[in-house]
């Protein structure tokens, strides 16, 4: 009986376009059943078993670590500015009393709450909304947005476009300044039971992602030029973005995960992280 293709998730944001490019151009896309969606929906699909392997936000990984194994050296994060995870403010930061949280994010909204409450001593009220920045800032003093919406806000703010918000805080940069460590927003993981049954498949998927990512980053200007045909961003902006993102999961990134996990656990937002179990690849 033929083996079914592994069900693999893919974040439908520009931050994961290099991974998709790599899968297409390495030919690995034919070997998997790919599901594209927003981070929150992919989180749920992996946790409930509708996916075998996929990206999962750091917060949801910490909540379900016992059921998952992490794919080594594969993540989405930053070691400084990330450009696409931001807190946008319509009033000075000290005057923020209400914050709209984007509904597609888990890790970023918790990071924003940590920074506002623990670093800046604020106690705002929070509401969750679809990631529409103008609407969010009509309803609240500040908004947390991620992905392409946030990248567009950064792009417009840097150019001083009309109507850009009063303040824009890059949450990757803010975490680095606070902790001295990289911020990991998402990791790739396999369901533990699937990895135990199909270790070879997990290895093949991991190899495909790593090989494809190296291929894309090695030709990042072409990737950016092709992507810019369908985006509001110019090729130089996209090339800068793709090379600003940190796709590694080395010792410093893991230290960043542990630091974030410890803070989140003290707040009661996630269980304590005992250890990270990696897939054998």
Residue 1 has pLDDT above 70, yes or no: no
Helix (H) or strand (E) holding 135: helix 133-139
pLDDT, position 29: 83
Pairing, β 142-146 against β 85-89: antiparallel
pTM (whole model) above 0.85: yes
Residue 26 has pLDDT above 90, yes or no: no
Domain 7-77+183-267 and domain 85-179 have a common topology = yes
Q: pLDDT tens, 80-113?
A: 999 999 999 999 999 999 999 998 889 999 999 9
Closest by CA position to 155, among listed 130, 79, 139, 147: 147
pLDDT, position 3: 67
- Percentage of the chain modeled with pLDDT above 70: 97
| Burial tier of 161 (Cβ tally within 10 Å: 0-12, 13-18, 19+) | exposed
What mean pLDDT do residues 116-123 have?
97
Q: Which CATH architecture has domain 7-77+183-267?
A: 3-Layer(aba) Sandwich (3.40)
Cα–Cα distance for residue pair 12/188, rounded to 1 Å: 15
Superfamily of domain 85-179: Periplasmic binding protein-like II (3.40.190.10)
* Two structure tokens written together for 67: 């059921």
Helix-then-strand count for the chain, H and E: 12, 10
pLDDT, position 161: 57
Q: pLDDT tens, 126-151?
A: 999 999 999 999 999 999 999 999 99
Q: Which pLDDT band, with edges at 50, 70 and 90, does 50 fall under?
A: very high
**Residues of the chain by 3-state class (helix, strand, coil), percent to 5:** 50, 20, 30
pLDDT, position 157: 84
Closest by CA position to 256, among listed 113, 114, 112, 79: 79
What mean pLDDT do residues 230-243 have?
93
Residue 2 has pLDDT above 70, yes or no: no
Q: pLDDT tens, 175-197?
A: 999 999 999 999 999 999 999 99
Domain extents in the chain: 7-77+183-267, 85-179
Closest by CA position to 108, among listed 141, 132, 135, 83: 83
Residue 162 has pLDDT above 70, yes or no: no
SS3 assignment, position 73: strand
pLDDT, position 166: 65
| Residue recorded with tokens 């670590």 | 65
Cα–Cα distance for residue pair 187/46, rounded to 1 Å: 12
Mean pLDDT over each residue of the chain, to the nearest integer = 93
């Amino acid at each position: 009986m033929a083996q079914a293709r592994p069900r693999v998730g893919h974040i439908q944001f520009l931050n994961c376009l290099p991974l998709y490019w790599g899968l297409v151009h390495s030919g690995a896309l034919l070997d998997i059943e790919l599901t594209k969606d927003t981070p929150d929906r992919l989180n749920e699909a992996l946790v409930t078993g509708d996916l075998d392997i996929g990206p999962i936000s750091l917060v949801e990984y910490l909540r379900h670590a016992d059921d998952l194994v992490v794919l080594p050296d594969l993540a989405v994060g930053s070691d400084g500015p990330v450009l696409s995870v931001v807190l946008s403010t319509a009033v000075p930061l000290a005057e923020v009393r209400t914050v709209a949280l984007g509904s597609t994010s888990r890790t970023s909204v918790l990071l924003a709450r940590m920074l506002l409450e623990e670093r800046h001593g604020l106690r705002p009220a929070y509401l969750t909304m679809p990631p529409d920045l103008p609407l969010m800032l009509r309803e609240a003093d500040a908004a947390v947005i991620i992905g392409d919406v946030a990248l567009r806000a950064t792009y417009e703010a840097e150019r001083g476009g009309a109507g850009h918000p009063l303040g824009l805080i890059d949450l990757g940069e803010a975490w680095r300044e606070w902790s001295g460590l990289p911020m990991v927003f998402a990791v790739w993981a396999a369901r533990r039971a699937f990895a135990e049954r199909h270790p070879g498949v997990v290895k093949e998927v991991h190899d495909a992602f790593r090989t494809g990512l190296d291929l894309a980053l090695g030709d990042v200007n072409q990737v950016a030029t092709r992507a810019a045909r369908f985006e509001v961003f110019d090729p130089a902006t996209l090339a800068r973005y793709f090379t600003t993102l940190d796709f590694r999961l080395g010792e410093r990134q893991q230290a960043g995960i542990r630091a974030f996990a410890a803070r989140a656990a003290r707040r009661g937002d996630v269980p304590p992280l005992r250890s990270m179990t990696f897939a054998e690849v």
